[in-house]
Amino acid sequence: MYDVLIIGAGPAGVSASLYAARSNTANVTVVSDDSSSLKRADLIENYYGFADPVPGAVLLEKGIAGAERLGVSFVRDEIVDIQIDPEMKFSVSSSSGITKKYDAVMIATGASRKKPDIKGIKELEGRGVSYCAVCDAFFYKNKKVAVIGSGSYAFNEASALSDIASQVYIITNGDELADGIPENITVVDKKISSIEGDNRVEAVAFIDGTRLEVSGVFIAMGTAGSTELARKVGAPVENNRIMVNEKMETAIPGLFAGGDCTGGLMQISKAVYDGAQAGLSIVRFLKSK
């Protein structure tokens, strides 16, 4: 039996583990530091198979339970390094000081969305503060919303919102605005002091004492991270996305990636699809060894 490590216990990693484990060719371990985006998703109502909205944390637990039933091992740890040794095995080290060797590795570490250190963001998460326009735009039909960010990620989020919201603002928080701002978006270049609201977002307050009344605030600073591990083994990364082909193979034989860390549609359905492809590719790779 070969040893396979999947880094990340979100929908992409868990989906890959199902396919790899059922092939009977590998011992499959999934390692995670317990930070899946899905945990932060209050209610999911755009994923197949649920009559009622399902909390993200519940979907996550059910996925893991299904994989455990098939013999997948789950470990809580943070991976800090991957190297390729002379026998072409992956030598993977964690923050708890453990280094182990694997025949194949999948990176499914999700996207690390940058969080600004602004008062009110943490408190109002899920109550007007969102990290995903595709997921939550629907709730802001004909309402005013703000996107905090200044680059292409923020522009994408603003475009998705502008079809639904009555008015979309991009708040740069004092950062320089990139080129390519979409039409119908109002730019506010002031520094933010806090997000205000008792129970839900009501306004963004600026350090010059002014306020902008909005019903929702979308955080879209920088782009997705999570690519450092790929870089360590020399797998190409572009615009903070790990580059993969349609089989979820990176340029490094035996190293696969999928889910939010490979970009594209940052949704559960896409992560599950990527995981299925990666799982099948891992099996094919091991059988060809």
Q: How many chain residues interact with ligand FAD (CB under 6 A)? A: 35
When asked if residue 131 is in the footprint of ligand FAD (CB under 6 A), the reply is: yes
When asked if residue 18 is in the footprint of ligand FAD (CB under 6 A), the reply is: no
Name residue 272's beta-bridge partners: none
When asked if residue 29 is in the footprint of ligand FAD (CB under 6 A), the reply is: no
When asked if residue 263 is in the footprint of ligand FAD (CB under 6 A), the reply is: no
When asked if residue 150 is in the footprint of ligand FAD (CB under 6 A), the reply is: no
Instruction: Say if residues 37 and 13 touch (Cβ distance below 8 Å).
Output: no
When asked if residue 46 is in the footprint of ligand FAD (CB under 6 A), the reply is: yes
Sign of the dihedral defined by the CA atoms of residues 126, 129, 132, 136, in that order: positive
When asked if residue 223 is in the footprint of ligand FAD (CB under 6 A), the reply is: no
When asked if residue 9 is in the footprint of ligand FAD (CB under 6 A), the reply is: yes
Considering the complex, state which of residue 111 and residue 206 has its C-beta at the smaller distance from ligand FAD. 111
Distance CA 256, CA 279 (A): 9
- Helices within the chain (DSSP H only): 11-22, 37-40, 56-69, 133-136, 152-162, 228-232, 268-287
Considering the complex, state which of residue 156 and residue 186 has its C-beta at the smaller distance from ligand FAD. 156
Residues 78 to 117: which contact ligand FAD by CB under 6 A? Answer: 78-79, 108-110
Distance CA 193, CA 186 (A): 19
When asked if residue 266 is in the footprint of ligand FAD (CB under 6 A), the reply is: yes
Distance CA 30, CA 41 (A): 21
Rounded to a whole number of angstroms, the minimum distance from the CB of residue 86 to ligand FAD is: 25
With H, G, I as helix, E, B as strand and everything else as coil, classify residue 251: coil
When asked if residue 37 is in the footprint of ligand FAD (CB under 6 A), the reply is: yes
Rounded to a whole number of angstroms, the minimum distance from the CB of residue 149 to ligand FAD is: 15
Considering the complex, state which of residue 50 and residue 289 has its C-beta at the smaller distance from ligand FAD. 50
Burial annotation 179-200 (CB, 10 A radius, 16+ → b, else e): eebeeebeebebebbbbbbeee
When asked if residue 232 is in the footprint of ligand FAD (CB under 6 A), the reply is: no
When asked if residue 33 is in the footprint of ligand FAD (CB under 6 A), the reply is: yes
| 194 CB-near residues (< 8 Å, 6+ apart) | 118, 119, 120, 204, 205
When asked if residue 11 is in the footprint of ligand FAD (CB under 6 A), the reply is: yes
Binds ligand FAD by CB under 6 A, chosen from 44, 57, 185, 243:
44
Rounded to a whole number of angstroms, the minimum distance from the CB of residue 108 to ligand FAD is: 5
Rounded to a whole number of angstroms, the minimum distance from the CB of residue 145 to ligand FAD is: 15
Distance CA 106, CA 280 (A): 12
The candidate with the shortest Cα–Cα distance to 108, out of 212, 166, 36, is 36
Considering the complex, state which of residue 18 and residue 271 has its C-beta at the smaller distance from ligand FAD. 271
**Which tokens is 140 given?**
């802001």
Binding-site ranges for ligand FAD (CB under 6 A): 7-13, 31-38, 40-41, 44, 46-47, 78-79, 108-110, 131-132, 135, 259-260, 266-269, 271
